[in-house]
Chain A
Amino acid sequence: AQSVTQPDIHITVSEGASLELRCNYSYGATPYLFWYVQSPGQGLQLLLKYFSGDTLVQGIKGFEAEFKRSQSSFNLRKPSVHWSDAAEYFCAVGGSTGTASKLTFGTGTRLQVTL
């Protein structure tokens, strides 16, 4: 069965500091991996995705993530955090077609940014 672990429930960083959110997954084949962001009371917005190819993927708002197959990880990074980045971040894993197209989400990491 596929699963996602986000070990950090809550992270606080200072504005301008770097950020890394951890994500570990379990999946039986080559995974599709995603990071979504959710602001309070809002829906989920896609930050970035990995399907294949280059293991370092760039997303919106200056975020990037690196797929490391050997570590079953897909950590999200940003070199300099802005106050507007405060939100909840979800990592998700899925596959290509049919029943495998389902996404399994982690429980989320809430990011707080201090000024």
Chain B
Amino acid sequence: NAGVTQTPKFRVLKTGQSMTLLCAQDMNHEYMYWYRQDPGMGLRLIHYSVGEGTTAKGEVPDGYNVSRLKKQNFLLGLESAAPSQTSVYFCASRTARGTQYFGPGTRLLVL
């Protein structure tokens, strides 16, 4: 039981490049979330999903897209990366009771 895993762990992009962050969970959770963490700002919700095939916007969705084609995977895409998207990205999945469990994070640097 690996819990929540994230790929890649670290990435450097140039402005305008695109990339996809992958989140996978093996706990059969319905709900999944993408957050970004910036110094002094805590974690802010980007997008989330309440089940396979569904997605919804969070607090800071601009510049990001997501897909949940399979229950166990939640993908976060950056179509045209900007320096403001330099951050640490965390994925989480949630139990039916309400507890969120987090992945180890992806550090993204946009030059």
Contacts and interface: CB of A to CB of B under 8 A. Distances in A.
Given A99-B56, A101-B98, A102-B58, A107 B90 contact: no
Contacts of A99: 56
Interface of A: 4, 9, 32, 34, 36, 42-46, 49, 51, 90, 92, 94, 96-99, 101-108
Contacts of A97: 50
Given A43-B90, A51-B97, A105 B56 contact: no
B44 to A, nearest CB: 8
A78 to B, nearest CB: 21
B111 interface: no
B101 to A, nearest CB: 7
Given A101-B50, A105-B42, A51 B56 contact: no
B98 to A, nearest CB: 5
Nearest to B40: A107
Given A43-B105, A90-B42, A105-B35, 9 more contacts: A43-B102, A43-B104, A49-B99, A90-B43, A94-B98, A97-B50, A99-B56, A101-B48, A106-B42
